């Protein structure tokens, strides 16, 4: 059987990647990180990631830029992103780390939809309060932009 992949790219599509899925195929669950560095890095309230073996992740087009981040506990976090459009791709805790966290929002639409299960939330004590309002139906919702 041909190997199954997840594919993704940045906003400008100059950089693309693929993840080889294990056989039999199992899809990674989504892990949310509420840490303050992920908020800054993504410009959002949290980062959404899938964690996969690093050996299964490869860039198929272009090469990302590496930013060596440091947590407030002094732990190095290597973050790869597109230098042209700024999309974040991956983070890992060092060059000897065997797993890599891939930002699930960079997956191609069809593959992002496949990774539909939330598995874990980390740095939960840093969660922004508005996140609690997601999914409770109390906020106006629009399919499309603010302009409608
Ligand atoms: Zn890009
Ligand atoms: Zn984080």
Summarize pLDDT for 9-38 with one digit per residue, the tens: 999 999 999 999 999 999 999 999 999 999
Residue 89: inside a domain, yes or no?
Answer: yes
- Structural domain includes residue 137: no
Whole-number Å distance, alpha carbon 32 to ligand 2 midpoint, is 8
First to last CA, the chain: 45
The answer to the question of residue 31 being in a domain is yes
Domain assignment present for 141:
no
Between the CA of 28 and the centroid of ligand 2 the distance, in Å, is: 18
The two three-digit tokens of residue 3, written as one number: 């190997």
Range of the domain at 99: 5-128
Which ligand has the minimum distance to the alpha carbon of residue 47?
2
Contacts of 104 by beta carbon, 8 Å cutoff, 6+ apart: 30, 48, 49, 50, 112, 115
Q: What is the mean pLDDT of the chain?
A: 92
Nearest to 78 by CA among 57, 64, 62: 64
Based on the structure, what is the number of domains in the chain? Answer: 1
Tell me, in angstroms, the distance from the centre of ligand 2 to residue 147's CA: 32
Q: Does any domain span residue 138? A: no
Closest ligand to residue 75's CA: 2
**Whether residue 146 has pLDDT greater than 90:** no
Ligand nearest to the CA of 103: 2
How far does residue 56's CA lie from ligand 1's centre (Å)?
Answer: 21
Burial class (CB in 10 A: 0-12, 13-18, 19+), 97: middle
Say how many Å lie between the CA of residue 36 and the centre of ligand 2: 7
Q: Residue 142 — pLDDT band, cuts 50, 70, 90?
A: confident
Q: What is the pLDDT of residue 1?
A: 67
Distance CA(33)–CA(39), nearest Å, equals 9
């Amino acid at each position: 059987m041909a190997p199954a992949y997840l594919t993704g790219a940045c906003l400008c599509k100059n950089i693309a990647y693929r993840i080889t899925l294990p056989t039999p195929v199992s899809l990674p669950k989504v892990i949310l990180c509420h840490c303050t560095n992920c908020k800054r890095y993504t410009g959002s309230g949290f980062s959404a990631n899938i964690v996969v073996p690093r050996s299964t992740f490869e860039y198929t087009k272009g090469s990302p830029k590496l930013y060596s981040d440091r947590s407030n506990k002094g732990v190095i976090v290597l973050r790869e992103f597109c230098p042209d459009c700024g999309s974040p791709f991956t983070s890992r805790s060092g060059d000897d780390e065997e797993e890599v966290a891939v930002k699930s929002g960079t997956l191609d639409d069809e593959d992002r939809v496949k990774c539909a299960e939330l598995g874990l939330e980390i740095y939960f004590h840093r969660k922004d309060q508005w996140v609690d309002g997601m999914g409770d139906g109390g906020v106006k919702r629009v399919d499309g932009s603010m302009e409608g």
